[in-house]
Structure 1
Amino acid sequence: MRGADTFTESLFTMRRLEDFVPQSHPLRSIRTMANQALVKMDRLFAQMYEADIKGGRPSIAPEKLLRAMLLQVLYSIRSERQLMEQTQYNLLFRWFIGLSMDDSVWVPTVFTKNRERLIKHDAVIQFFNEVLAIAQKKNWLSGEHFSVDGTLIQAWAGHKSFVRKDGDDQDDDAGGNFKGRKRSNETHESKTDPDAKLYRKGKTSSELRYMGHTLSDNRHGLVVSAMVTKADGHAEREAAKVMLNDARQVIEDLNVEVTVGADKGYDAHEFIEACLEMKVTPHVAQNTSGRRSAVPDAIASSAGYAVSQQKRKLIEQGFGWVKTVGRMRQVIVRGLKKVDQMFVLSMAAYNPFPYTEVMTLPSVFE
């Protein structure tokens, strides 16, 4: 018997948002981990809003704001407006954020304004650290053997915005044709994003870019430190020294051997010497192309060196994930501080992946 094409809607429903989310959905374990980290941040959230005790409308709860930002990364949502649109009718999103069926969705500009408060108070960085602390308690980290690398991030600025600092620029008259014109970071800067630098690496073309850096733990490839710097030829090694120094200070026992794997770009005398001073064994790939490697042969011939060279490739998985899923190939924010916060948040979202199957999350656009 053929069924009738009718639509019947009840006035009331007795089902909860929880009932609409499958028990095996990856977001369940991610939400549990995120909530554990957010509970530890209660004091920071209180300090962020203590100046607002005089009155006024309540702002967006920072816990809900951070969970919404995580969704934006996990589901490759390009803009806040698109995120709010999805939250309006997507029950899964409402459940993850902590909104009931009857709660109003925020205006995109209000969401963006409140997000700036999190960036100002480094809440994203603390969230990353709390997620890392959870991983440490679960014994997901070795805490002694690391890998380091950097990647290019395209800025939200175009070549036409890259003009002379002194204002005497005739590029606009050329209609964007820069052939034969000398342009460098010393004489030019972007009008839309002054922190972005013109940079090329290898066979890539010169673009306005930033440089993202991560320090990963070799046990499972989880990121233990992340930062963004301006793009230049020395940024990778300088950032690596900062992250290694921070990691080394956490390890109280100086007798524990700490190692770091890296590619040939880190084979420089000043970097190798800096590692040895920090009592970090540099398992850096030897660069012997027309030169002598700075890595001692005694280190390069050790068994641990070979293991580090195999494990260091795990760091590329994080870069690949944040550039494709996290949409960090080209950022949608401007300024070093904001780009750094988005990069750190993306890495915080990536870290639970080996245990929560983040990569298998179904797309909201399928």
Structure 2
Amino acid sequence: MRGSDGMQEALFTVAKLEDFVPADHPLRPIRLLVNAALVRLNGLFNTIYADNGRASIAPEKLLRAMLIQVFFSVRSERQLMEQVRYNLLYRWFIGLAIDDEVWDHSTFSKNRDRLLEHAVVENFFTEVMTVADRQGLLSREHFSVDGTLIQAWASHKSFARKDGGSDDANGGGSGRNAQANWKGKPRGNDTHASTTDPDSRLFRKSHNTAATLCYQGHVLMENRSGLVVSAVVTHADGKGERAAALAMLDRLPGRHLKTLGADKAYDLRDFVQACRQRRVTPHVASNVTHIGGSAIDGRTMRHSGYAASQVVRKRIEEHFGWGKTIGRIRQTVYRGIKRVDQHFKLTMTASNIVRMARILTLPPQGVAQ
């Protein structure tokens, strides 16, 4: 007999969000790791919020919602709030009951900015690394470093002269989208700045690529499990990668011997010498085409550890690739170096959590899956 196409809802329904999430869903181990890190932030949250007054969004739920935005490539807070209204998986992960009211997107954005003011994302990143360290996932001796470009949320047309002059002469047209004519006119960061995002810089990665308004994201990775132990965003310039690498090395605990794998961009005598002063052996790829030759000699390259570092360092690209395709850091939607830095750190934290969940849920060797 043909079934009826009608729908008759029951007057009362008894259901829990837990029943809608499969037992083997990949978000389950991820949520356990996130909650383990959030518990350690309870003291920080108590200092941020007042003891009385109107209750705001719980910071734990706010951070989980921000992670959902990264995990599922949700492009805006407005779209995130819309999807939380009907997506039971999102509600379960964030900690909202079925009948809980979803926040307005503007309220969500204002509360997110409060986390920026108190460096909550940085502390969350640290606590996730503490959880990883307790699980024995981190190396204390062997590291790798690399950087990537993050395209700014600004166009070339916003790159205007700092002295108030105009480069658009003979461009034709008028209005906010007027035709521009920059032919034969030098444009650089010393004389120009973006009116949309003044913190961005005009930069190109090589002579074969176009210059874009962008930032530089830098990552320091430990080599045992391939987890990011430090991440930072800086202005884009020719020295940013090496300066950020040294700054991240200075934040590593302990004065014991360490190794640092890196690509040819780090093969400069000043950087190699600075690493050695920090008791860090620079396992940097040799750039024999550089003027003056490579700063890495045979005494370093002859060891098997050097070859191992050169293989493992390429795993940083997995974090960059995941962040640009899933976390949407290829072109940031935020303006200002502080917000871009927060977005980059949160994305690298999410990448770490995904990797940790996969490592910790793998069956022991010799056990069939």
- TM-score bracket for this pair, using the shorter chain length: over 0.9
Alignment-derived partner of residue 142 in structure 1: 139
**RMSD, aligned CA:** 1.3
Are 1:222 and 2:217 matched, yes or no? no
2:275 & 2:71 partners in 1: Cα distance?
Answer: 35
Aligned residue pairs, count: 350
By how many angstroms is 1:47 displaced?
A: 1.1
**Match runs of 1:6-85 below 5 Å:** 6-50=6-50, 53=51, 55=53, 57-85=54-82
In the TM superposition, what is the alpha-carbon distance from 1:2 to its structure 2 partner?
Answer: 1.7
Structure 2 unmatched runs, 5+: 172-178, 360-369
Secondary structure of 1:351's partner? helix
Matched, 1:233 2:238: yes
Measure the CA separation in 2 of the matches of 1:173 and 1:10: 69
For 1:274 and 1:35, the matched residues in 2 are separated by 39
Is residue 160–residue 172 contact of structure 1 (8 Å, CA) maintained in 2? no
Partner of 1:246: 251
Structure 1 residue 54: deviation in Å?
Answer: 5.3
Partner Cα separation in structure 2 for residue 173 and residue 90 of structure 1:
52
Note the residue ranges of structure 1 that are not aligned, 5 or more in a row. 359-366
Task: State the alpha-carbon separation in 2 of the partners of residues 8 and 301 from structure 1.
Answer: 75
TM-score by length of 1: 0.93
Measured in 1, the distance between the counterparts of 2:143 and 2:72 equals 29
Partner of 2:221: helix, strand, or coil? strand
Matches within 5 A, 1:282-297: 282-289=282-289, 291-297=292-298
Of all paired residues, the percent bearing the same amino acid is 55
Distance in 2, matches of 1:27 and 1:43, equals 26
> How far apart in 1 are the matches of 2:112 and 2:169?
35
Equivalent residue runs for 1:319-338 within 5 Å: 319-338=320-339
2:229 aligned counterpart, secondary structure:
strand
**Runs (4+) of structure 1 moved beyond 4 Å?**
none
Aligned partner of 2:198 among 182, 194, 199: 194
Contact 2:142 2:259 in 1 (8 A): yes
Match of 1:167 in 2: 164
2-structure distance, mates of 1:286, 1:321 = 27
Is 1:75–1:325's contact at 8 Å kept on the other side of the alignment?
A: yes
Q: Distance in 1 between matches of 2:88 and 2:11?
A: 18
Return the alpha-carbon distance in structure 2 between the equivalents of residues 190 and 244 of structure 1.
32
* Alignment partner, residue 313 of structure 2: 312
1:353 Cα deviation (Å)? Answer: 2.3
User: Is contact 1:163–1:171 with CA below 8 Å preserved after alignment?
Assistant: no
Equivalent pair of 2:153/2:335 in contact (CA under 8 Å): yes
CA distance in 1, matches of 2:244, 2:170: 39
Give the CA deviation at 1:99. Answer: 0.6
Residue of structure 1 in register with 2:211 after alignment: 206
Inter-partner Cα distance in structure 2 for 1:136 and 1:193:
38
